[in-house]
Structure 1
Amino acid sequence: MSTKKLTIISICIALNTVLSSVIRIEGMAPMSTVFNIIFATFGTFYVTLIALVTAILRMFIFNIPPLAITGALFGAILAGLCYKFTKSIFGAWFGEFVGTGIIGSIVSVPIMQFFMDLDSNAVWFLYTPRFVGATIIGGIIAVLIYSRLKHSRVFKDIQNLFDKESTTSK
């Protein structure tokens, strides 16, 4: 992996870590969705790597519960895969919605019941509305930002850098 690519990944992780922790609604991290959708254009491996490292950093630095991982990881994987097959930001948004809003929220329930020692079945109704809400809010923001970014020469160059290696490594 080139130094240029590592630098870009590091900047993406730093931006995602800070902005996802600062710009948030209690119980929701719509900025994490924004980054997953936009970074899905770099490729499934890279968006997943960025989401995982960001989630781990958020857990340790900002004392975020394991929801940081369950919320971001499934969405990142599906956003990357859906973007790969559709080449559409809306495809990435759909993947993020299903991955984070549905799968991530369902997987979060038993994990949080374990960590918080909760016995209540009401926990099932706690995460899905928040995760779905975050993916809708974050998705709208991501589409608006991407509609401007896709015309940027720098962003196109970054996408080409990541796309070039993924096509030559096959």
Structure 2
Amino acid sequence: MEKRSVVLKMTLLAILVAVGVVISPILRVEGMCPMAHFINVVCAVLLGPWYALGCALMIGVIRMFFMGIPPLALTGAVFGATLSGIFYYWSKGKIIGAVIGEILGTGIIGAMVSYPVMTLFWGRTDLTWFFYVPSFIGGTLIGGSIAFVFLVALKKTGHLIQFQRSLGAKVYDTSKIHTGNSHSETA
């Protein structure tokens, strides 16, 4: 079962990276990339903080090298993806915890880290520490909200728990789930 869950995790990670790269330029608002935040939260909930960090790194690197996106693709995403997974864990599986982690990680920390990166490496001298905060928070609110609605819908149907169990991820739901047997089990 362990080898199967590793293969499933890697497959899902590859799918999320591919989807993240493809939809980021399509569903984009100037200065914001809300679908990247959607991917961060979904990956954090399904796979955990370290997979979410890896997913954000891979998407950012691919976007930077093949699409000419500035390093904001990395500085904005990695903190939010990681904190999304950590806050999901700390909140004992509350989806809103993952969304809040994304908002704080990307909207505040990632935005502020972007200032020195863009100033030092890209020569942007017209920036301040808070220059990217409004657009990053706007993007995280949009993408996080979409992720919240999506994950709550999965949870209501029982698919979220099934996905997490299949992936060998921590399952936080303590409600009784019907397994097809004559008894129910507690998650």
Same fold (TM over 0.5): yes
Tell me the equivalent position of 2:77.
72
Give ranges in structure 2 of 5+ residues lacking alignment.
172-187
Give ranges in structure 1 of 5+ residues lacking alignment.
none
Query: Equivalent residues in 2 for 1:34-113 (5 A)?
Result: 34-41=38-45, 42-86=47-91, 87-113=93-119
Q: Distance in 1 between matches of 2:104 and 2:72?
A: 16
Tell me the equivalent position of 1:117.
123
Change (3 A) 1:153 1:15: farther
In the superposition, the TM-score normalised over structure 2's length comes to 0.80
Q: Distance in 2 between matches of 1:80 and 1:39?
A: 8
Larger Rg: 2
Give the helix-richer structure, 1 or 2.
Answer: 1
Report the count of equivalent residues: 165
- 1:65 alignment partner, SS class: coil
In the superposition, the TM-score normalised over structure 1's length comes to 0.88
- 2:129 alignment partner, SS class: helix
Q: 1:135 aligns with which of 136, 140, 144?
A: 140
CA contact (8 A) 1:43 1:163 kept: no
- AA aligned to 1:32 is A
CA contact (8 A) 1:21 1:58 kept: no
CA contact (8 A) 1:38 1:89 kept: no
Q: 2:20 aligns with which of 13, 16, 21?
A: 16
Q: Distance in 1 between matches of 2:157 and 2:67?
A: 32
CA contact (8 A) 1:36 1:51 kept: yes
Q: Distance in 1 between matches of 2:157 and 2:68?
A: 35
Cα deviation 1:7-55 (Å, max 9, x = unaligned): 1211111011111222111111111111111111121111111111111
Q: Distance in 1 between matches of 2:94 and 2:155?
A: 11
Tell me the equivalent position of 1:31.
35
Displacement after TM superposition at 1:155 (Å) = 4.5
Aligned-residue Cα RMSD (Å) equals: 2.0
Q: Distance in 2 between matches of 1:66 and 1:51?
A: 12
Q: Distance in 1 between matches of 2:118 and 2:68?
A: 14
